[in-house]
Amino acid sequence: MTILKRSWQSWLALALALAALATLPFLSAEAPFAYNPMRMFSIFVLTIGATLVSLLPLPSVFVAVTLLVCAHFSTSLLIARLAGNEGMASTAFFLALAANWLLAWRCVSILSALKVRSKTVDGLLRLVIPAIFGAWILILWEAATRGFGIPFIILPPPSAIGVRFASSIPTLWADVQQTVFKAVIFGYLVGCAAGFAVAILADRIAFFRRGLLPIANLMSALPIIGVAPIMVMWFGFDWQSKAAVVIVMTFFPMLVNTIAGLSAAGSMERDLMHSYASDYWQTLTKLRLPAAMPFIFNALKINSTLALIGAIVAEFFGTPIVGMGFRISTEIGRMNVDMVWAEIAVAALVGSVFYGVVALGERATTFWHPSNRGG
Amino acid sequence: MASQQAGFDRHMAENNFSVVSARKLGLTFETGDGPVHALSDVDLEVKKGDFVSFIGPSGCGKTTFLRVIADLEGATAGEITVNGMTPENARKSRSYGYVFQAPALYPWRTIEKNIALPLEIMNYTAAERKERIERTLDLVNLAGFGKKYPWQLSGGMQQRASIARALAFDADLLLMDEPFGALDEIVRDHLNEQLLKLWARTQKTICFVTHSIPEAVYLSTKIVVMSPRPGRVTDVIESTLPKERPLEIRETPEFLAIAHRVREGLRAGHSYEE
C-alpha cells in the first residue's frame, strides 16, 4: 500500500500543473503586460503545493481548507493579469486553470463527504459548497471571455459586469424601486388575492364555477406580449399598467391551484366535519384551507417568478424613463451590454430573494406536510 | 308527582330508551352496473347504555348502517330514528361521536388541538375546552402527549387520540367503524380492554363495527350478525357475559359458546351462495 491517496482529480491536477510549467509563458509574445516571475512562481507554488497536500494522508478538513485557500488564491493571481491581455492567453494558462479547477472539484467532493454533527458547521457547508460552484462558473466565464478575447458585445466578462454594477447602483436601485416595489409587489398581491377570492367564490357558488372558470382559463392563455400594450393604453405609462399585466399573469395560477387545493382534504376528514354539523366556513377554515396550503404555496412560488418576468417584459412597451425592463431595452440599443447584464443580475437577485421569502413562509405554514416533516 | 315522573324518566332512560331504532330500513345505491342493495329490511333497536357490535363479511352493510345512523348516508327505504329524531336532526344536535377506520387527525394540529376541533366548532369556551382536553386525554391514557403532532405518535396512540376527540363533547352515542382494524393483535387487545373500561366509566351507548369474532364477543352486550347481497341482519345475539370482563374471559366455555353462535350465524349468511 502506498501512503499517497488515490484521487484522480489530484493526480490529473499535478500532471496539468507540470504540463503548464513546461509550456510557459502564460501569454503569447505580443501581450502588452507580461506576468512577472514572482507572480508565476507564486501560482505554481500554490497549485503544486496544494496538490501534494491533497495526496498525503492528512485530516480531510485540513486538506479541504488548504485546497480552498491555495487553489483559489492561485486562480485569482492567474486571472487578474488577463485584463488588458484579452485574447492572448496561451495553452499554459488554460492548463494551470484546469489544474486549479480540478483542485476545487476535489475540495468540494471532500467537503460534500464530510459528516458533521454541529448545525452551524453544517449550515456553513451548505453555503460554502454552492458558493465554490458559483465562483467557478464566474471564473471559467471570466477566463473564457478574456482568454479567448470574446467580443464585449457578445458576452462581457463578469468582472466588467461587476464594475458596471458597482458604478450604477443608484440607477439600478431606482429601477428596482420602480419595477419591483411598485409594479411587482402590488400586482402580485392583488393578482394572488383575486385568484384566491375567485377560487373561494367558485367553490361556494355553482354559477361561478360553471360560468367563470372557462373564462378564467381563456385569460390564462392571453399572450403577455399582446396584453402589455393594451394595459399601457388603459392605465398609462407608469407602473400601474405593469401592475395590471402582473395581475393578469398571477391570477390564473393562484385560481387553479387554490381550486385543486380545496379538494385536497380527504373524504374521511370531511365526513368528520359533517358529523360535527360544521358549517361551510368552519369546514373551510379548519379543514379545507389548511389542507390546501401546499397548493396555495405552489402558486405563490410560481407567481413570484412570473410577476417579475411580467413586469419587466411589460416595460418594453412604454414606461417613464426608469424601470428594469426599460433599462434593458434602451441599454441594449446603445450597445451597453454590461449594463444589460447588470440589470439581469439584479433581476436574478431580486427573484431569488422573493422566492426565498415565499419558500420560508411555506416551510413555516406547511411544516406538517410529509415533504417537510423530517427535514 | 313531579319527582315520581322524573324517577320514571330516569328509569326509562336507563333501561328502555331506544337510542337507535330502525324499522324495515333499506339503502340502495344506484350505480352504473345497476342498483346495489347495501341494506334491506333491517330492524334493530339499540337501547341506552348498550354496547352493540356489528359483525359480518365485507359488503354486508355494517359500515353503511353506521353511516346511516350518522347521517353520512341517507336511507332509501324504511325508517330510522336516532335519539328519537331523524338522523339529520340528531347530527345537527351533535348527538354522536364518530370514530373512523383511520384516525383522521389533522396533521397541522397538535393532539390537543385535534381534540379541541369539535369543541371549537360547537363553541365551547376556552376554559371548558382546556378542561375537556385534559379529561379525555386522561381517559384514553394519553396524558402528556397533548403537545405532540399526530405524525409523531404510533398508530395505536393516534387511534386513541381520535377516540378522545369523539369523547370530548357531550354526545351519549359513540359510533366506531372498525377503529382497531389496522392495528396489530397485541395493541388491539390492550385497546379493547381500555375501551370496555372507558365504556363503563362514561356510560355511553356504543355501536361498534368489526370483522373480528373475538373482538365482538369480548366487547358487546349485543352482537348483530349481518350478511351480504343484500346487506341484512341474520342474527341478534344478547351476550350473557358479565359486565366485568378480564381478557382471560375469552377462554371460558360461555365466551366460546357465544363465539360459536356468531360463527354459525356468519356461516348461515354465506351458505346459500356456495
Best of B86, B91, B106, B176 to substitute, by most chain A Cβ atoms within 10 angstroms, is B106
CA distance B200 to chain A (A): 24
| pLDDT beyond 90 at B197 | no
CA distance linking residue B176 with residue B24, whole number of Å = 23
Q: Do B117 and A266 touch (CB under 8 A)?
A: no
Best of B98, B123, B148 to substitute, by most chain A Cβ atoms within 10 angstroms, is B98
Calculate mean pLDDT across residues B30-40. Answer: 83
| pLDDT beyond 70 at A317 | yes
CA distance linking residue A191 with residue B152, whole number of Å = 37
Q: For residues A44 and A13, is the Cβ–Cβ distance under 8 A?
A: no
Query: Per the structure block, which three cell numbers stand in for B234?
Result: 341474520
Residue B16: its pLDDT value, please? 66
pLDDT band with cut points at 50, 70 and 90 for residue B8: very low
CA distance linking residue B39 with residue B77, whole number of Å = 9
Q: Which amino acid is at A205?
A: I
Calculate mean pLDDT across residues A290-298. Answer: 93
Calculate mean pLDDT across residues A205-218. Answer: 81
Residue A3: its pLDDT value, please? 62
Q: Do A275 and B96 touch (CB under 8 A)?
A: yes
Q: Which domains does chain B possess?
A: 21-95+185-274 (3.40.50.300), 105-170 (no CATH)
Residue B1: its pLDDT value, please? 42
Residue B178: list chain A partners with CB under 8 A.
none
pLDDT band with cut points at 50, 70 and 90 for residue A170: very high
| pLDDT beyond 90 at A347 | yes
pTM across the whole model? 0.81
Calculate mean pLDDT across residues B263-271. Answer: 75
Mean residue pLDDT of chain B comes to 83
Residue A286: list chain B partners with CB under 8 A.
106, 117, 120-121
Nearest Cα residue to B61 out of B257, B166, B209, B162: B209
Residue B39: its pLDDT value, please? 83
Q: Do B106 and A269 touch (CB under 8 A)?
A: yes
| pLDDT beyond 50 at B7 | no
Residue A278: list chain B partners with CB under 8 A.
121
As for the ipTM of the complex, it is 0.84
Residue predicted with more confidence, B3 or A169: A169
| pLDDT beyond 70 at B76 | yes
Residue A340: its pLDDT value, please? 94
- Beta-carbon contacts of A255 under 8 Å, excluding residues fewer than 6 positions away, are A195, A196, A198, A199, A202, A216
Residue B204: its pLDDT value, please? 87
| pLDDT beyond 90 at B24 | no
- DSSP H helices, chain B, are 2-15, 62-69, 87-92, 111-121, 126-139, 155-167, 185-202, 213-219, 253-271
Q: Provide the phi-psi class of A209: left if phi over 0, else alpha when psi is between -120 and 50, else beta.
A: alpha
Residue B2: its pLDDT value, please? 46
Q: Do A278 and B121 touch (CB under 8 A)?
A: yes
Residue B60: its pLDDT value, please? 83
Residue B107: list chain A partners with CB under 8 A.
368-369
pLDDT band with cut points at 50, 70 and 90 for residue B239: confident
Fold that domain A166-373 belongs to in CATH: MetI-like fold (1.10.3720)
Q: Do B91 and A275 touch (CB under 8 A)?
A: yes
Calculate mean pLDDT across residues A115-126. Answer: 84
Q: State pLDDT tens for residues A226-248.
A: 888 888 889 988 888 999 999 98
Residue B69: list chain A partners with CB under 8 A.
none
Q: State pLDDT tens for residues B102-149.
A: 889 999 999 999 999 999 988 888 999 999 899 888 888 888 898 999
Using CB atoms within 10 A of its CB, is residue A155 exposed (0-12), middle (13-18) or buried (19+)?
A: middle
Sketch the domain layout of chain A as residue ranges. Answer: 8-150, 166-373
CA distance linking residue A264 with residue A287, whole number of Å = 10
Calculate mean pLDDT across residues B9-36. Answer: 74
The one-character DSSP state at A265 is S
Q: For residues A81 and A26, is the Cβ–Cβ distance under 8 A?
A: yes
CA distance linking residue A223 with residue A184, whole number of Å = 18
Residues 356-375 of A with CB under 8 A from B: 366-370, 373
Calculate mean pLDDT across residues B86-110. Answer: 89
Nearest-by-CA chain A residue for B107: A368
Calculate mean pLDDT across residues A33-50. Answer: 89
pLDDT band with cut points at 50, 70 and 90 for residue A141: very high
Residue B120: list chain A partners with CB under 8 A.
286
Identify the top-confidence range among A177-181, A186-190, A365-369. A186-190
| pLDDT beyond 50 at A121 | yes
Cα torsion A270, A274, A280, A282 to 10°: value is -80
Alpha carbon A48 to its chain's center: 34
Calculate mean pLDDT across residues A8-29. Answer: 88
Query: Per the structure block, which three cell numbers stand in for A57?
Result: 494522508
Of the candidates B98, B121, B149, which has its C-beta nearest A282's C-beta? B121
Calculate mean pLDDT across residues B156-184. Answer: 86
Query: Per the structure block, which three cell numbers stand in for A330?
Result: 434602451
Q: Which helix (H) or strand (E) holds A202?
A: helix A185-204
Residues 280-339 of A with CB under 8 A from B: 282, 286-287, 290, 293
pLDDT band with cut points at 50, 70 and 90 for residue B12: very low
Calculate mean pLDDT across residues B73-81. Answer: 85
Mean residue pLDDT of chain A comes to 89
**What percentage of residues in chain B have a pLDDT greater than 70?**
92
Of the candidates A271, A286, A367, which has its C-beta nearest B72's C-beta? A271
Query: Per the structure block, which three cell numbers stand in for B9?
Result: 324518566
- CA pseudo-torsion sign A191, A366, B99, B128: negative
pLDDT band with cut points at 50, 70 and 90 for residue A374: low
